[in-house]
């Protein structure tokens, strides 16, 4: 039996990951943005061990999430599932950061830096990471006219870069990044191709399976298949630049 933490698990793909893991007999710690969503998360998955609450658009609350999650650890696997879509305009958080960049990139970085690296780490990306660009002088779109689609694609390639960097630094762990596909959730919309069950299955497999393929590390995976990521993901210099900026923004170094 494994113990698994899943961020953003009050609905959508994260909630489905929790359901599948609980059905397999594993222990699950959920995460929700606020108390209302936490209640909904526990109602959807009443067998969960616990739920930690906090908004990933806040550095202070993300630190509190890490502390609360650590109280329920250690974990056999952590699934960094939470994320936002691009949106029609740039929104700034109380920390003075782009909300999209903070939730999609800064939050999984900060949680990774503040928590022990689990034996298995799963990060979520998107097929749009193929369109992601590296603009180190303007990662948060402060100097350019906002393009929600491009900003989202950028954030997803940054997630892939983070996962590959963690895999490089922790060869003793199994660290992978997953494209769940275009899934029929509130974020994906009703026209998406695939059901939520398909969007969660690969993460669950990577988190707990003893299949030989599930035990490989440092990969970009979709539907259990290893794909070739955006070339930026394997660019050590670009990854170092991203980590340096995330260390600056958070004040926390990556182990």
Q: What is the CATH number of the domain that holds 10?
A: 3.40.50.720
Number of domains making up the chain = 1
pLDDT (0 to 100) of residue 194: 78
Helices (H), 105-251: 107-114, 148-169, 196-208, 236-250
Block residue for tokens 């034996």: 119
Q: What is the largest CA-CA distance in the chain?
A: 49
pLDDT (0 to 100) of residue 216: 98
- 10-residue mean pLDDT series, the chain (255 residues): 97 96 98 96 95 98 98 98 94 98 98 98 97 98 97 98 98 97 63 79 98 98 98 98 98 96
Give all strands (DSSP E) within the chain, no chain letters: 3-6, 27-32, 50-53, 77-80, 120-124, 174-178, 219-222, 225-227
Structural domain includes residue 255: no
Rounded to whole angstroms, how far apart are CA atoms 139 and 2? 36
- In three-state secondary structure terms, 23 is helix
pTM of this prediction?
0.96
CA torsion angle for 174, 180, 181, 186 (degrees, to 10)? Answer: -160
Residues marked active site are found at: 152, 156
Structural domain includes residue 212: yes
Structural domain includes residue 16: yes
pLDDT (0 to 100) of residue 196: 78
Rounded to whole angstroms, how far apart are CA atoms 255 and 253? 6
Structural domain includes residue 107: yes
pLDDT (0 to 100) of residue 183: 67
- Exposure of 207 by Cβ count < 10 A (0-12 exposed, 13-18 middle, 19+ buried)? buried
Structural domain includes residue 188: yes
- Which residues are CB-neighbours of 32 under 8 A, at least 6 positions away? 9, 10, 38, 40, 41, 51, 52, 53
Residues belonging to the chain: 255
Block residue for tokens 């943005």: 33
User: Is 5 within 8 Å of 71 (Cβ atoms)?
Assistant: no
Domain of 53, in residue numbers:
3-250
pLDDT (0 to 100) of residue 189: 58
pLDDT (0 to 100) of residue 192: 56
């Amino acid at each position: 039996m494994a113990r698994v933490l899943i961020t953003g698990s009050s609905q959508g793909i994260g909630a489905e990951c929790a359901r599948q893991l609980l059905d397999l007999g594993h222990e699950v710690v959920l995460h929700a943005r606020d108390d209302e969503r936490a209640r909904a998360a526990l109602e959807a998955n009443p067998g969960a061990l616990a739920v930690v609450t906090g908004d990933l658009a806040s550095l202070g609350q993300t630190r509190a999430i890490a502390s609360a999650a650590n109280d329920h650890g250690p974990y056999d696997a952590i699934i960094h599932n939470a994320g936002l879509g691009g949106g029609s305009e740039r929104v700034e958080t109380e920390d003075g950061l782009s909300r999209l960049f903070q939730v999609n990139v800064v939050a999984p970085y900060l949680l990774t830096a503040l928590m022990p690296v689990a034996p298995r780490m799963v990060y979520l990306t998107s097929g749009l990471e193929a369109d992601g660009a590296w603009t180190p002088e303007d990662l948060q779109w402060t100097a350019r006219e906002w393009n929600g689609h491009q900003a989202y694609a950028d954030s997803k390639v940054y997630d892939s870069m983070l996962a590959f960097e963690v895999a490089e630094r922790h060869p003793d762990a199994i660290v992978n990044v997953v494209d769940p596909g275009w899934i029929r959730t509130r974020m994906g919309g009703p026209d998406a191709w695939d059901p939520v069950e398909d969007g969660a299955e690969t993460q669950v497999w990577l988190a707990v399976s003893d299949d030989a393929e599930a035990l490989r590390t440092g990969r970009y995976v979709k539907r259990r298949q290893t794909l070739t990521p955006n070339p930026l993901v394997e660019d050590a210099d670009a990854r170092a630049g991203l980590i340096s900026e995330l260390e600056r923004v958070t004040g926390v170094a990556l182990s």
